[in-house]
Structure 1
């Protein structure tokens, strides 16, 4: 089955109107419509053998990512799977370093999102051919083979291929934290009810969105801290809202609520700014977490070298798929910084669970300060949805990368012609 040739790539713009109920709202993204550019790879060997991939967006702009996927599809269609995975590093470079397409990246923005969607589908196809969930494919892989999937260009001053090979390449359930209780647009009544429900379900780690209004943040953090008690974990997330000095001042005033970290306190590109914030907040026992909008492995390298973060937040769709996330996970291990991925959105929990299991089983072998974000939205649209038990991710068992969506859901949420969006348009006319 590795000889299967990819004969077609389709990509569709699938959007969910989450802004109608303020799901996902934060200080910077006030009206997100959780969306994906959804890729399907068809093969010549079996009509049922397909690879599914996606990249996440928050609504407008998804059509641009779709265009980029179509532009890159020529590098994929016509290749057989064995040809790709036998030189995965070379294939990654082919996608990321085309002499003309590279100009509108390189390895960042829309191009990187499109590469992630395509490569997520390739990894899904490979895992399906092997009959394994993706995390198991990675864990079982010979270390030399796994490392050969990584492009070490630009990061050898932080991690060499030989060092990666020397990393020790093991369990059940991975700790999760919830962001679903405290979106910025939620009322106090909604926040209180959701937090109470989460506590009853066994959740012990909670994240609160902050950054729009200090007094409101103080009130909301006080409310959450009183509800969850002194021993449960609280994190706060500003979603890039502040300048550097403003971040330090604002978080200092929230220190009484003992947050474990402040997430994305400033521009996601400002490495030295994050370093200054990290240094200033260290005496308060508050770490800095970032990475969900970090473009590539090179930026993560610099964040780690500059001690600019204390928690690495990889994203399954922001960088170049599994290949690049493997590099980031291995660098984080070398710098002894825990990986606590960003998730939520559409499909991000489904995908990233495979990466955290690989990190724990084969790289870190520690759960100290390690956890993965969980948002309880839109899982019902997937063939193999994330399973949470006692506030832990349970290892997926189905072959693949858990990317495949229900075709009925895809059709209903196609933008702009799907049933859901036509109904919204009609309501707007009334």
Structure 2
């Protein structure tokens, strides 16, 4: 631990935005003109080491997350890395349970997005100080130490510390073989890049053809704005990918409960594996009703990219309201809270298929899903990680995809260090890219 006696002396945060709305990248039924953006955090220590973290947003409002990060920074500066990781649960609670700032959460919304950005930077710093990529830091960590990073408050009725420890201890068997397998084969991915809602049929066909040629077998289509349009596009994609490849559909919270059931029933002939975010992300019982209604059609419900915290995931699992858990690296309180959700999902026997894409989400979440397979689930059944082919060129250690699989990162850290030149040119509103667009 001696190499961790580094004191954090500075935290900076910047508003970095990419004008993806110009070409309709990321467009869906609810978010029609997203500009993929991040609140980008850098923490510095007295020994000159840096940790990098971010939280993903879609443009306007990023400045609010930046303000929240600045408000939390006073709780971080002055702490040593050793102090933080020796009681990571306590540090997590320090950020999420501040007697005054908690009021504007608690553990949800902007304040939790800001918490994730800060903690992502702390985890990056820890992994760098150990000279390991984050997934390896997690996989090689003593199970008791790992459990000590998780806040079990509010979830012990679904998962106790003892149960979580038991899951990790049992998964020690065969762990090295799974590490070797991942290093050789990578983790299975699916693509969302072919069928954003704003794309023309011609572009959709071209991207689909290219993806098939590159070895992709799992495709997600955005739906929810117009039923006739959805029928046409789903038919087109199913024709292109054939009957044996996997199709998923994603409504991005567009429908009421009854409407979701009716709409998806009309799309059932295209055999989607799941409908993602069919209704309000907060409506646990609504998701349960949709899950029950669609089960006879063989269509599951997937959600989680806008699920606030571990408590909501607990209830989704308890209510059998989802058949695929979608964690997000920045919506929840960083690695700490995602660990809790991965362990709960395993206990409830629900596969985890993370949300990714955006800016940096692929880079981040690959570490968590590698840990899930190697140290928790030991299964690839019905499991895959989202991939979106946008903006990876702005990262120092971009994701590596081979044959539609995520290859495990080798560089130390959490893979979210951005190139300084990219940060400067895309900083909002003073960066060169934005000055040109004004």
TM range (shorter): over 0.9
Aligned to 2:152: 152
Give matches, 1:133-172, under 5 Å.
133-167=133-167, 168-169=170-171, 170=178, 171-172=181-182
Give the alignment partner of residue 318 of structure 2, picking from 305, 312, 329: 305
1:42 and 2:44 are equivalent in the alignment? yes
CA distance in 2, matches of 1:335, 1:349: 25
Give the alignment partner of residue 232 of structure 1, picking from 237, 245, 249: 245
How many positions carry a matched residue from both structures? 423
CA distance in 2, matches of 1:369, 1:316: 20
CA distance in 2, matches of 1:406, 1:354: 20
| SS at 1:151 equivalent | coil
**For structure 1, which runs of at least 5 residues remain unmatched after alignment?**
426-430
How much does 1:174 deviate?
0.4
Give the alignment partner of residue 282 of structure 2, picking from 254, 269, 276: 269
1:74 and 2:74 are equivalent in the alignment? yes
Give matches, 1:322-341, under 5 Å.
322-341=335-354
Aligned to 1:241: 254
How much does 1:402 deviate?
0.2
Aligned to 1:96: 96
| SS at 1:194 equivalent | helix
Aligned to 2:227: 214
CA distance in 1, matches of 2:276, 2:35: 21
How much does 1:407 deviate?
0.1
Aligned to 1:382: 395
Aligned to 1:12: 14
**For structure 2, which runs of at least 5 residues remain unmatched after alignment?**
172-177
How much does 1:39 deviate?
0.1
CA distance in 2, matches of 1:180, 1:72: 35
How much does 1:5 deviate?
0.3
CA distance in 1, matches of 2:166, 2:380: 21
CA distance in 2, matches of 1:313, 1:106: 21
Give the alignment partner of residue 291 of structure 2, picking from 269, 275, 278: 278
Give matches, 1:173-212, under 5 Å.
173-212=186-225
CA distance in 2, matches of 1:75, 1:237: 38
1:364 and 2:377 are equivalent in the alignment? yes
1:407 and 2:407 are equivalent in the alignment? no
CA distance in 2, matches of 1:67, 1:289: 32
Per-residue CA deviations over 1:221-268 (Å, capped at 9, x if unaligned) read 000000000000000000000000000000000000000000000000
How much does 1:218 deviate?
0.2
CA distance in 2, matches of 1:109, 1:253: 34
Aligned to 2:174: none
| Structure 1 length-normalised TM | 0.98
1:394 and 2:407 are equivalent in the alignment? yes
Aligned to 1:428: none
Aligned to 1:417: 430
CA distance in 1, matches of 2:100, 2:233: 49
Per-residue CA deviations over 1:177-210 (Å, capped at 9, x if unaligned) read 0000000000000000000000000000000000
How much does 1:107 deviate?
0.1
How much does 1:413 deviate?
0.1
How much does 1:23 deviate?
0.1
How much does 1:77 deviate?
0.2
1:295 and 2:308 are equivalent in the alignment? yes
| Structure 2 length-normalised TM | 0.96
